[in-house]
Structure 1
Amino acid sequence: MEIDVVLPCLDEEAALPWVLERMPVGYRPIVVDNGSADDSVKVATGLGARVLVERQRGFGAACHAGLLAATSDIVAFMDADASLDPRQLPRVVGPVRDGESDLVLGRRITRSVGSWPPHARAANALLAHRLRRRTGAALHDLGPMRAAPRTGLLALGLRDRRFGYPLEMVLRAAAAGWRIAEAEVDYLPRTGRSKVTGTVRGTVRAIGDMRRVMRETA
């Protein structure tokens, strides 16, 4: 079974070689460029990835463009910044492929100091707590590495095109009765500065998007 892997991308030319070269056999990267000012598109194309350009700015816009372009039965998502190891994708995809879960999120486990700033870790822990209370799913992380059936994801009717997209996916999946699970994955120091967790401002912006999604997704 081949798996399409959606990689939303914004100025990741330095990280892409490591990420794409570690993609497991049978996993097909779809790099969705979302307005990069560097050579991300050139690098990804040169390394053999399928490259899309999504002109609507927003993390969710890039993710959803990749989902719409995917053709595999199961679709995986992960960041393109080298904070997650593509070789661990089978940990997340496996339970979906084997019919044990409908949506699996990679629970990030830090392996080095500095890979997860305190302000971002605290925000994630609070969000996970609220998700557990609201959905009943035993979640500890809104993991950026995840996998689910393509047709099921399309049927969820995801609308957010900003940082609320991953949260909306979980909320709508839970409302639809999906079996949601976690699988541990290593969380590594990313290459370059994060657009979200790298600054308090970026984290606050993401929290704002997620609060809005919490309110709007009944």
Structure 2
Amino acid sequence: MDEMTGASVDVVLPCLNERGALPWVLSRIPAGYRAIVVDNGSSDGSAELAATLGAIVVREERRGFGAAAHAGLLAATAEFVAFCDCDGSLDPSLLPGLLAPVMAGATDLMLGSRQPQRGSWPLHARIANIVLAWRLRRLTGENVTDLGPMRVGRRTKLLSLNLVDRRSGYPLEMFLKASRAGWAIAEMPVPYAPRTGRSKVTGTIRGTVTAVRDMSRQLKSAAALAADPASGPVRARTGSEEQV
């Protein structure tokens, strides 16, 4: 627990013009959790509103999901850190369920696997996600179906990954490096609702193309490492067996 704030979990909420969603999102933060809203250059007063609603506000001028997410991770001081979108599509009140296996030591990184509700996930983004998950299963052997933004891990372990991507590839880099480090990775289904306001990433075709481009760099690098015997162990799972 963070002795300065009493928070056991810091919730990182990357934010770019999410004023309409902030009241609901912050009202759903569980007791004992601290909201860290990372303002990524909002022009709608999101940062000021978040502060009045009790959140810690961090400003990250460098645009990019990864830049905002990592700034929040660096600002966190609690033992556990959760990540969640700030647009109302994901419910932070579900975080204790994702956290429990991590606290128990059964899982190192818990991912929220998005279960779309009507109108929440454009077809082009859903197809891109299915293809990505398929490639990740083949590359890492991890039983992953979605690389969604809701996730939980221990702060010190997350920092040890030395994440460098500051764009859309940040969640993928976290997953790939965690897998390569031998972390226990699991996922749990979470409802995925239509976002509040206009989407800036996967809700648009341009945003999806940008995300695919950023993630392709991570996949290319990971594939090269997997093909190099000198680069270290690569896990491959077949059924319930694990080989190194």
TM-score range (shorter-chain normalised) is over 0.9
- Which residue in the other structure is 1:4 paired with? 10
Q: Which amino acid aligns with 1:5?
A: V
| Residues 111-126 of structure 1: pairs in structure 2 closer than 5 A | 111=117, 113-126=118-131
One-letter amino acid matched to 1:4: D
- 1:59-111 per-residue CA deviation (whole Å, 9 max, x = no partner) reads 10100000011011110000000000111111211111111100010001123
Structure 1 residue 86 and structure 2 residue 100: aligned?
no
* Aligned mates of 1:213, 1:58 — CA distance in 2: 16
Write the distance in 1 (CA, Å) between the matches of 2:78 and 2:140.
Answer: 28
Unaligned stretches of 5+ in structure 1? none
Over the matched positions of the two proteins, sequence identity in percent amounts to: 62
Deviation sequence 1:108-146 (CA, Å, 0-9, x none) = 1123x1101110000001001111111111100001100
Stretches (4+) displaced over 6 A? none
My pick for the range that moved more, 38-47 or 89-98, is: 89-98
1:21 is matched with which residue: 11, 16, 27? 27
Aligned equivalents of 1:191, 1:210: Cα separation in 2: 25
Letter in 1 for 2:50: A
2:48 is matched with which residue? 42
Cα distance in 2 for partners of 1:164, 1:122 equals: 17
Alpha-carbon distance in structure 2 between the residues aligned to 1:160 and 1:79? 18
RMSD of aligned Cα (Å): 0.9
Q: State the distance in 1 between where 2:19 and 2:221 align.
A: 35
Give the Cα separation in 2 of the matches to 1:135 and 1:48. 40
The match for 1:56 is 62
Which residue of 2 is the match for residue 30 of structure 1?
36
Preserved contact between residue 103 and residue 179 of structure 1 (Cα < 8 Å): yes
Q: Distance in 1 between matches of 2:97 and 2:116?
A: 16
Give yes or no for contact 1:110–1:186 (8 Å, CA) kept in 2: yes
Which protein has the larger Cα radius of gyration, Structure 1 or Structure 2?
Answer: 2
* TM-score calculated relative to the size of structure 1: 0.97
Structure possessing the higher relative contact order (Cα contacts under 8 Å, 6 or more residues apart): 1
Q: Matched residue of 2:57: which SS? A: strand
Distance 2:182 2:112 in 1: 20
**2 CA distance for matches of 1:44 and 1:29?**
9
